[in-house]
Structure 1
Amino acid sequence: MPTPAPFRTGSVLLRAVTVFVLTLGLVGAGSWIPTQSRDEAATVSAVTRSWSQLGAMLQNVDVVHALFYSAMKVWLDQVGISTLTLRLPSVLACALAAGFVVVLGSLLFHPRAGLLAGLVMAVCPRVTLVATEGRSAAWFTAAAVLLVLLVVLAVRRPSWAWFLPVSLVTAVLGGLHVYAALLLPILVVWLWAPPETAGRRRRVWRLGLPRGRLAPLLGLLVGEVPVVLLAWRARDQQAQVDWIDPPSLESLAKVATETVAPLNGLWAVLAWSMAAAGLVWLARHRRGRRGTTFLLVGWAVFPGLALVTVSALWTPLYSQRYLSFCVGALAVLAGAGLTSVRRRWLTFCLAATLPLASAVTFRDQREVGAWDSWQQIADVIAYRGNPGDPVIDYPLVSAITVSYPGALGTGPVLNAGADRLSRHYLWDDWLPLQAVEPRLRGVQRVWYLSPTADETGRTLEIRRLRQLGFSGEMLERSDAEQTWLFTRTAAETERGDRLIRMPG
């Protein structure tokens, strides 16, 4: 890596804007193609309410997403809901994250390192994935890079003016996802790192901090207060993470790969190798960069280790998808590693391997069924069904009617209970087949949608449908759900109706 160049604000900003535009085009390309995910259906369910209804819902579920839902409601109320408008804020957030990484890498290393770091961020499979989902992951990924950037700037250019932006971004980061607050211990410890000039006295009134670091420290602490209150309020809603399994050897083996490159171990190996080269360069050139290794390695590694530890000792909280806010550290280190290569042609060749390695997963991420198979379900029903066919639907797949009203036709949902607005919850209430058997009287065709994992419940209910005269075939199966069509003749309907249990 060449001798550190002066930080020319105009030049760095131009590079950051260029990477922002490139990333915007890359992650935005085809982002509207995949069918909406179940989590996106939760976003749609939340924002298609009045403000009072949204507040009532947050009393029961998803209070940790209150900030995200509120911002998305304001946005979608203005532009309307479509797959594109739902994901556009995530696309913009990913582009901002890459732009912020350019500035951060330029500050910590060199403008060329910043540029390469931004390009690494742009082609990171985790980043290109979260851009295709209308959830908060892309937002808190960008907020994490911005917070680190603000703290570094506050140290480089001491002023009390940094207190307010640091505290605001800290609150926003934690408000978007409380797990992202795991970045704060790293920043706090880094602020207490030894001063650059040996022997400089630490003032008691500055809490022993080197000069210029009190303002960002107080900003972090003040910004953390609403995050702690939010986490305390959410303690009664821990059922939201009941789906998370305890960490297994398989999941632990993928900590370093799936967090940054889902289903793309090659990209992860290449990126971490480049990051390791950046660490080697840092070990040899510490002057003027004291604490940088701790900052970047801590940012990249500590949150994952903390979640794994808590999951092993207390309750499962670790999920690879929650750690996208750590990707910025890997990008900066990889950018430094690429810049440390002395031969420009070799740097170019190494840098080119990352977009090539990410091409396969990028293509998969832009397929219709990348998130869920709802489009396939709708296509099957549209092809084989009648508009008024009744449906038996269950919670795992019921969200399809939120994201795609009418996708299952105009027929009644036989096992529907209380609607989501009256029960102040994300989804309608869904009843077991036994509770709605009388609604099958006279029905000759019915669609049955069931979670693939619920084999016991599905077996019992299909057995009962066959007892009532229905003959069924499975028309579509994915990793998450099965789609069955059951039919019976008029004579079978008459015989089966005699077997239906009357309520009470």
Structure 2
Amino acid sequence: MPTPAPFRTGSVVVRAVTVFVMTVGLVGAGSWVPTQSRDEAATVSAVTRSWSQLGAMLQNVDVVHSLFYSVMKVWLDQVGISTLTLRLPSVVACGLAAGLVVVLGSLLFTPRAGLLAGLVMAVCPRVTLIGLEGRSAAWFTAAAVLLVLLVVLAVRRPSWAWFLPVALVTAFLGGLHVYAALMLPVLVVWLWAPPEAAGLRRRVWRFGLPRGRLAPLLGLLAGAVPVSLLAWRARGQQAQVDWIDPPTLESLAKIATETVAPLNGVWAVLAWAMAAAGLVWLARHRRGRRGTTFLLVGWAVFPGLALVSVSAVWTPLYSQRYLSFSLGALAVLSGAGLASVRRGWLRFVLAMSLPLASAVTFRDQREVGAWDSWAQIAAIVAYRGNPGDAVIDYPLVSTITVSYPGALGNGPVLNAGADRLTRHYLWDERLPLQAVEPRLRGVQRLWYLSPVADEVQRTTEIRRLRQLGFDGTLLERSDAEQTWLFTRTAAQTERGDQLLRTPG
């Protein structure tokens, strides 16, 4: 690495703003194209309520997203709900994350390393993915970088003025994603790292901390209090993570790739190789950077290992999508590794390899069906449907009507139960076919939409529909759901209705 250039605040800010603008443009390109995901439907379901209705819902589900839903409600109440407005805050958050990485990398290494780190962050496939969803992942990714940056600044420029910003950002980060609190042990231990100059006495009133580190430590602890209360409140809503499977050898084998670059192992390997080069450079240039290796490696690795360990010995909590708040560490280390390459032409080639490697997944992420197959379902219903066609759908599939109310036509939903506002929940209730069979009387055309995973229930209900005279055709099958169209003639309808009137 060339001789470190002096840190010039103005120059670093210009670079950070440039990377912010570039990232917003990159992540925002085509962000409105993919149909909304099921998680985005949850956001829409939450924010399209009154404040009192939202509060009642949070008593039952998603209390961990209270902060996110509240901010999104204020935003969407002002600008209206569309796919673009739903995702725009996430796009901006990705830009902020990349811009803040520029500043952090410049502080910990050099301005060149900071700039390269920001560019790594901008083209990271996980970043370009979370920017396409109206959820909190992009927000807490940016908040994590901001928190680390504040703690580093607080150590380098000691002042009690850092206490409040550190406390607020800690609470904000944990309020967006409780799992992000796993960063706090790393930061606390780093604050207790040895002082730069050997022989300096540690004073008892500072709890043995090196000078200037008490304020950020107390800020972390103060910010952790509301996060702990939120986690305690959410303990009764653990059913919302029941979908997470226990970690398997296959999932563990992908922990270093899928967490940073979904479906793009080449990008992940390149990024981690550059991060390793950054660690080698750190090992050779430790002067003035004591503790940096622990800070960045701990930030990148500890949260994932902790979640895997908890999932193995207690209850499944590990999901690759939950660890995006550790991306900043990988980006900073990769930027340092790139900057350590002495030959300019080689550094340029390596830097260009990352955007080229991310190009394939970038394109796939911006296809209409990147998140879900709702567009295909809506197109099939629009093409093959008739006005007034009846519908039977189930959770996961029925969420389509939250984001796209007219997607399944205007016919009756035969298995509808209590609506989502009455039951204070994200979704309307859906009843099994057996409970609503009388509603099939007179129905000649029926759309049946079922999650793929519900094979036993689907097989039983389709068998019953055939007994009632329906002929079914599977029109679409995705990884998540099946779309069937059942029809019967007038004569078959009369015989089926007679069967429904016959006891037993």
Under TM normalisation by the shorter chain, which class is it?
Answer: over 0.9
Per the alignment, residue 355 of structure 1 pairs with 355
Opposite residue 396 of structure 2, the aligned amino acid is L
Opposite residue 145 of structure 1, the aligned amino acid is V
- Once the two structures are superposed, the pairs formed by residues 165-204 of structure 1 within 5 Å of their partners are 165-204=165-204
Percentage of pairs with the same residue: 88
Per the alignment, residue 297 of structure 1 pairs with 297
Opposite residue 112 of structure 2, the aligned amino acid is R
Aligned Cα RMSD in Å? 0.9
Per the alignment, residue 77 of structure 2 pairs with 77
CA–CA distance in structure 2, aligned partners of residues 103 and 154 of structure 1: 14
SS in structure 2 of the partner of residue 473 of structure 1: strand
SS in structure 2 of the partner of residue 392 of structure 1: strand
Q: Does 1:408 align with 2:399?
A: no
CA–CA distance in structure 1, aligned partners of residues 394 and 116 of structure 2: 47
Spell out, residue by residue over 1:19-49, the C-alpha distance to the aligned partner (whole angstroms, 9 max, x if none). 0000000000001111100000000000000
Cα distance, 1:294 vs structure 2: 0.2
SS in structure 2 of the partner of residue 304 of structure 1: helix
Per the alignment, residue 52 of structure 1 pairs with 52
SS in structure 1 of the partner of residue 43 of structure 2: helix
Cα distance, 1:453 vs structure 2: 1.1
SS in structure 2 of the partner of residue 287 of structure 1: coil
SS in structure 1 of the partner of residue 315 of structure 2: coil
SS in structure 1 of the partner of residue 397 of structure 2: helix
Opposite residue 157 of structure 2, the aligned amino acid is R
SS in structure 2 of the partner of residue 274 of structure 1: helix
- Once the two structures are superposed, the pairs formed by residues 353-432 of structure 1 within 5 Å of their partners are 353-432=353-432
Question: Contact (CA 8 Å) 1:139, 1:176: kept in 2 or not?
Answer: yes
SS in structure 2 of the partner of residue 405 of structure 1: coil
CA–CA distance in structure 1, aligned partners of residues 501 and 156 of structure 2: 75
Cα distance, 1:396 vs structure 2: 1.6
Spell out, residue by residue over 1:351-383, the C-alpha distance to the aligned partner (whole angstroms, 9 max, x if none). 000000000000000000000000100000000
CA–CA distance in structure 1, aligned partners of residues 500 and 112 of structure 2: 73
Q: Does 1:479 align with 2:479?
A: yes
SS in structure 1 of the partner of residue 23 of structure 2: helix
CA–CA distance in structure 1, aligned partners of residues 324 and 152 of structure 2: 20
Opposite residue 392 of structure 1, the aligned amino acid is I
Cα distance, 1:344 vs structure 2: 1.1
CA–CA distance in structure 2, aligned partners of residues 305 and 224 of structure 1: 21
- Once the two structures are superposed, the pairs formed by residues 85-100 of structure 1 within 5 Å of their partners are 85-100=85-100
Cα distance, 1:503 vs structure 2: 9.9
Per the alignment, residue 310 of structure 2 pairs with 310
CA–CA distance in structure 2, aligned partners of residues 499 and 25 of structure 1: 61
SS in structure 1 of the partner of residue 287 of structure 2: coil
Cα distance, 1:3 vs structure 2: 2.2
Distance 1:134 1:435, change over 3 A: same
CA–CA distance in structure 2, aligned partners of residues 142 and 396 of structure 1: 29
CA–CA distance in structure 2, aligned partners of residues 5 and 364 of structure 1: 39
Opposite residue 403 of structure 1, the aligned amino acid is S
- Once the two structures are superposed, the pairs formed by residues 6-17 of structure 1 within 5 Å of their partners are 6-17=6-17
Distance 1:219 1:267, change over 3 A: same
Cα distance, 1:454 vs structure 2: 1.0
Cα distance, 1:499 vs structure 2: 1.2
Spell out, residue by residue over 1:249-300, the C-alpha distance to the aligned partner (whole angstroms, 9 max, x if none). 0000000000000000000000000000000000010000000000000000
Per the alignment, residue 120 of structure 2 pairs with 120
Per the alignment, residue 65 of structure 2 pairs with 65
Q: Does 1:219 align with 2:207?
A: no
CA–CA distance in structure 1, aligned partners of residues 499 and 61 of structure 2: 40
- Once the two structures are superposed, the pairs formed by residues 93-172 of structure 1 within 5 Å of their partners are 93-172=93-172
CA–CA distance in structure 1, aligned partners of residues 131 and 424 of structure 2: 29
Spell out, residue by residue over 1:199-228, the C-alpha distance to the aligned partner (whole angstroms, 9 max, x if none). 001111111000000000000000000000
Cα distance, 1:4 vs structure 2: 2.2
Per the alignment, residue 490 of structure 2 pairs with 490
Cα distance, 1:502 vs structure 2: 7.8
Cα distance, 1:501 vs structure 2: 5.5
- Stretches (4+) displaced over 3 A: 501-504
Cα distance, 1:240 vs structure 2: 0.5
CA–CA distance in structure 1, aligned partners of residues 477 and 368 of structure 2: 15
Question: Contact (CA 8 Å) 1:438, 1:502: kept in 2 or not?
Answer: no
SS in structure 1 of the partner of residue 323 of structure 2: helix
Spell out, residue by residue over 1:395-425, the C-alpha distance to the aligned partner (whole angstroms, 9 max, x if none). 1211000000111000011000000000000
SS in structure 2 of the partner of residue 368 of structure 1: coil
Opposite residue 168 of structure 1, the aligned amino acid is L
Per the alignment, residue 24 of structure 1 pairs with 24
Question: Contact (CA 8 Å) 1:437, 1:501: kept in 2 or not?
Answer: no
Question: Contact (CA 8 Å) 1:143, 1:172: kept in 2 or not?
Answer: yes
CA–CA distance in structure 2, aligned partners of residues 335 and 431 of structure 1: 53
Cα distance, 1:2 vs structure 2: 1.9
CA–CA distance in structure 1, aligned partners of residues 349 and 96 of structure 2: 26
TM-score, normalising length: structure 1: 0.99
SS in structure 2 of the partner of residue 162 of structure 1: helix
Distance 1:324 1:503, change over 3 A: farther
CA–CA distance in structure 2, aligned partners of residues 160 and 401 of structure 1: 51
Distance 1:385 1:194, change over 3 A: same
Per the alignment, residue 446 of structure 1 pairs with 446
TM-score, normalising length: structure 2: 0.99
Question: Contact (CA 8 Å) 1:388, 1:412: kept in 2 or not?
Answer: yes
CA–CA distance in structure 1, aligned partners of residues 183 and 92 of structure 2: 22
CA–CA distance in structure 2, aligned partners of residues 450 and 407 of structure 1: 15
Gaps of 5+ in 1: none
- Once the two structures are superposed, the pairs formed by residues 225-244 of structure 1 within 5 Å of their partners are 225-244=225-244
Gaps of 5+ in 2: none
